[in-house]
Structure 1
Amino acid sequence: MNPRVFILAIATFVVGTVELIIGGTLDLIAQDLQVTISSAGQLITIFSLAFSISAPLLLHLTRRVERKPLYLYTLAVFFLSNVLAAISPSYSVLMVARILSAASSSLLVVLSITIAAGIVDPAYRGRAIGIIFMGISGSLVLGVPVGLALGHAFGWRAPFWLIAALSIISMLFLIYFLPKVKTPEPVPIRKQFAILKNGKIISALLVSLFMLTGHLTLYAYFTPYLKTTMGIEANTLSLIYFVFGLAAVAGGGVGGWFSDKWGAQKAILWIVPLFALVMGVLPFFTQSLPVFLVIMVIWSALSWAISPAQQNYLIYSSPAAPDIPLGLNTSALHLGIAFGSIAGGMVVEQSSVIYTPWVGALFVVISFGFAIFSITRPVNAGAAATNQSVSNQTA
């Protein structure tokens, strides 16, 4: 395995951390900028929406630019966007900073995946992409506890300064260690999205979208939920998020083992409904912190246990060109984060944060419906031929 892949994974971890890092400090941001908590939560929403939309567009617009300079220039924009977020005097300026950060992040993540696949031997390509996805998932999981600890210790702006500093360090490593990468032949957007004519794949992508929508309906507002239902204080919050992060990382490993041993389809059909069930019963255990933590650990582990099974299932469903649905799945995940933040904000505004677990569980039930539909569809031979045509252009 080329060690430069791990440098790219670290850079991707830094980039991915910015998405949810404010999740634990929404109340601090709302108080400082004089907005509601649901308005502060939309800073997550706008990031995820901008991310999912920007990735294919920016990749198309920069298709003829050499990969290494493009990566470094985009990382510089990412650095500046986080500096702007750290010094933003108002909610509107912070919103602009989040959009710039999301756009640059989206391009950096896609570039990391394609560069990692291009600098290793074909036999190691799958593992290289897997390492990049570990950086992405790890950043989403650990972003909140890191932001929470720094935010409550030094103010909500501190996490953005940390990300800016880490992006400079990443840039220095990449300048010296990232080799020149051949610019691939561009594939038209319409051909990239032709795969969505395959009902089996589009319903599989909707599994990811609604699963993350349900998860973020609660997780984006988990801090106010804990404070409202259990009266949790800042120091205990940091511990809870740390435990949540460890459980999520462990869940990814367990999900991978389950997927390898029993098959991706069976793993999905078990994990998704169990996830809905756990979210649905979570509110009944807020009277006891130890019991609540046990249920929360299961919820957290299941939230990332689905990831390896879902990726394996998409590869199975599109064997000729698996990179395209995997890339679209990343966009679906971020759309789910955005929609979940919106849904959670609506619940908080219209009723109370205490209902977010039940609303989230309903979205996961919808995800399960799409999982059943997708798994019962046959692999489309015609779509495979289309995928092969696209794959030939990217080779």
Structure 2
Amino acid sequence: MNLKVIILAISAVAVGLVELIVGGILPTIAKDLNISIGTAGQLITVYALVYAIAGPVLLVLTSKMERKKVYLVSLLVFIAGNIMTYFSANFTYFMIARVVTAMSTALIVVLSLTIATKVVTPSQQARAVGLVYMGISSSLVLGVPLGILISDAFGWRVIFLIIAILAVGSFILISLFLEKMSGGDAIPLKVQFKALASLKMGSAQLATMFLLAGHYTVYAYLTPYLESNLQLNSTWVSAAYLVFGIAAISGGAVGGILSDKIGAKKSVLIVIGSFAVSLFVLPFSTFSIVLFTPIMIIWAMLSWAITPPQQSYLIQTDPSTADIQQSFNNSAIQVGISIGSAIGGIAMAQGGPVSNLPWIGSIVAIIALLCAMFSFSRPFISGESEQEKVQGRIKTEKA
């Protein structure tokens, strides 16, 4: 594979670590900053929300700028955000640092994906994008368990210093090996939102959002859940996160195979319905690690299995706006993470035990199932192709 794509994938690993690594060390952060675990969970909520909004907005604002320069500036901001996190003296300062890193990460990830397709031949573009996503996936799988171990040995702040150092390495590699690349025209945000306006497409995006919200109602607080319900120490919690991450990535492959065999619509319904059931039964298995582990693995696989059939459904429904719909689907994932971690934090702040979170997450997942069923029942209405509409609006705005 092209060396430049490998460098972009390495950069994706560095920046991808920041988002979810906080989840594994929430109790440690809460204790150090003298806040509740529910309040600490809002570090995930705000990060995901800023990420979801900043990605498409910053891409449009920087669309005409030279790509390498934008990438390097984003990395510098990302490094600064992690250094701020390392020195954060209180929760407010930490939250500001999370906003800075979320904005920079959102732009770095989308730039990594778009640049990867431009530095290879058309026949290699799919593999290039897959390699960058593999980098992001690797950071999600390895980041949390490694973060727990590093936090136990050296303190949680050292984690963000290490991430900053990794980003410095990415900055050097990008500076040396990536050539300058001119910007181009981006589809205006208001045009993008119009592609989302139909009930059919909008409710499909809501299905993704609510499924991830149900997932993160529990996953954002998995460490205190494992500690309080299964009495696991940090080593076993780290191992649980590693198993969870490997299962989640394999779930993406399972979702793709299922979609190919029985179709996108049936796959979406099966995945979401099974996901809701897995969360509902999870609390009944905590009396035994032997029983809990396979149910957790099923939950993990289903949490990522939704992406391939959902993306296929969006593309099949309206191929002319596939890029826009997939971009919004990524934002829907981040909004879902934000909502889910907020719901879990609120439930715990109200005095509810952490053991109740899977049931709450299951209810949220059922809402996702209803949204998907509603989307499938709606007809797709289109006069002229959406691509022609988008192109026409861009020409009109330029004139």
Structure-1 residue corresponding to 2:256 = 256
CA 137–368 in structure 1, closer or farther in 2 if over 3 Å, else same? farther
2:74 partner letter: T
Q: Deviations over 1:63-122 (max 9, x none)?
A: 221011100110111011011101211111111100000011111122122222333334
* Aligned counterpart, 2:34: 34
Normalised to the residue count of structure 2, the TM-score between the two structures is 0.93
The one-letter amino acid paired with 1:364 is A
**Aligned residue for 1:244?**
244
Following the alignment from structure 1 to structure 2, what is the Cα–Cα distance between the partners of residues 206 and 9?
29
Alpha-carbon contact 1:110-1:327 (below 8 Å) kept? no
In structure 2, the residue matched to 1:363 is 364
Asked whether 1:171 is paired with 2:171, we answer yes
Please show how residues 206-355 of structure 1 align to structure 2 within 5 Å.
Answer: 206-350=206-350, 351-355=352-356
Which segment is superposed worse, 328-337 or 56-65? 56-65
AA aligned to 1:101 is: T
AA of the residue aligned to 2:241: Y
- Aligned-residue offset at 1:152: 1.8
- Matched with 1:14 is 14
Q: Which segment drifts farther, 274-283 or 176-185? A: 176-185
Count of residue pairs the alignment pairs up: 393
Secondary structure class of the residue paired with 2:319:
coil
Q: Report the more deviating stretch, 114-123 or 318-327.
A: 114-123
The residue matched to 1:179 in structure 2 has which SS?
coil
AA in 1 matched with 2:97: A
Q: Structure 1 residues 371 and 124, CA, compared in 2 at 3 Å: closer, same or farther?
A: farther
Distance 1:180 1:366, change over 3 A: same
**Structure 1 residues 252 and 214, CA, compared in 2 at 3 Å: closer, same or farther?**
same
**Aligned residue number for residue 144 of structure 2:** 144
Q: 1:231: Cα distance to partner?
A: 1.2
Name stretches of at least 5 consecutive residues in structure 1 with no aligned partner: none
How far apart are residue 391 of structure 1 and its match?
Answer: 6.2
1:375 counterpart residue number: 376
Structure 1 residue matching 2:321: 3-state secondary structure: coil
* One-letter amino acid of the counterpart of residue 216, structure 1: Y
Q: What is the SS of the residue equivalent to 1:187? A: coil
Query: Matches of 2:367 and 2:148 in 1, distance apart?
Result: 31
Change (3 A) 1:193 1:41: same
Question: Equivalent residues in 2 for 1:95-134 (5 A)?
Answer: 95-134=95-134
What is the alpha-carbon distance in structure 2 between the residues aligned to residue 290 and residue 64 of structure 1?
A: 55
Aligned-partner Cα distance in 2 for 1:390–1:78: 33
Find the residue that maps to 1:381 and give its secondary structure: coil
Deviation at 1:387, TM superposition (A): 3.1
Letter in 2 for 1:368: L
Mean CA deviation greater in 226-235 or 24-33: 226-235
* 3-state SS of paired residue (2:320): coil
Going from structure 1 to structure 2, the CA distance change for 1:130 and 1:312 (only over 3 Å counts) comes to farther
| 8 A contact 2:141–2:242 mirrored in 1 | no
Letter in 1 for 2:212: L
Q: Secondary structure at the match of 1:378?
A: coil
- State the distance in 1 between where 2:118 and 2:326 align: 16
Q: Which residue identity lines up with residue 360 of structure 2 in the other structure?
A: V
Q: Do 2:141 and 2:241's aligned partners in 1 also have CA atoms closer than 8 Å?
A: no
Give the partner amino acid of 1:13. V
Deviation (angstroms), 1:390 = 2.9
| Contact in 1 for aligned 2:39/2:345 (Cα 8 Å) | yes
Structural RMSD (CA): 1.9
**1:2 shift after superposition:** 4.1
Q: Tell me how far apart the structure 2 counterparts of residues 388 and 121 of structure 1 sit (CA, whole Å).
A: 27
**Alignment partners' CA distance in 2, 1:78 and 1:241:** 25
CA contact under 8 A between 1:23 and 1:147: conserved in structure 2?
no
Deviation at 1:245, TM superposition (A): 1.1
Name the counterpart of 1:94: 94
What amino acid maps onto 1:378 in structure 2? Answer: P
Point out the more displaced range, 145-154 or 47-56.
145-154
Alpha-carbon distance in 1 for matches of 2:67, 2:194: 25
**Do the aligned partners of residues 373 and 141 (structure 1) sit closer, same or farther apart at CA in structure 2, a change above 3 Å counting?**
farther
Partner Cα distance (1:31, 1:161) in 2: 20
Aligned in 2, Cα 1:385/1:109: closer, same or farther, shift over 3 Å? same
**For 1:13 and 1:317, how far apart are their aligned partners in 2?**
32
Does the 8 Å CA contact 2:144/2:238 hold for their aligned counterparts?
Answer: no
- Worse-superposed segment, 213-222 or 142-151: 142-151
Identity within the alignment, %: 45
The amino acid across from 1:55 in the alignment is G
Read off the aligned partner of 2:80 and give its amino acid letter: L
Cα offset, 1:198, TM superposition: 2.3
Structure 1 residue 303 displacement after superposition: 0.8
Equivalents in 1 of 2:301, 2:218: separation in Å? 15
How far does residue 388 in structure 1 lie from its aligned partner after superposition? 4.0
Partner SS, residue 110 of structure 1: helix
Farther-moved stretch of structure 1 (251-260 vs 134-143): 134-143
Q: Is the 8 A contact 1:213 1:339 kept in 2?
A: yes
After superposition, give the CA deviation of every residue in 1:184-203 in whole Å (9 maximum; x if it has no partner).
Answer: 11322111211012222211
Q: Is the 8 A contact 2:195 2:321 kept in 1?
A: no
- Of 159-168 and 21-30, deviating more is 159-168
CA–CA separation in structure 1 for the residues paired with 2:173 and 2:261: 38
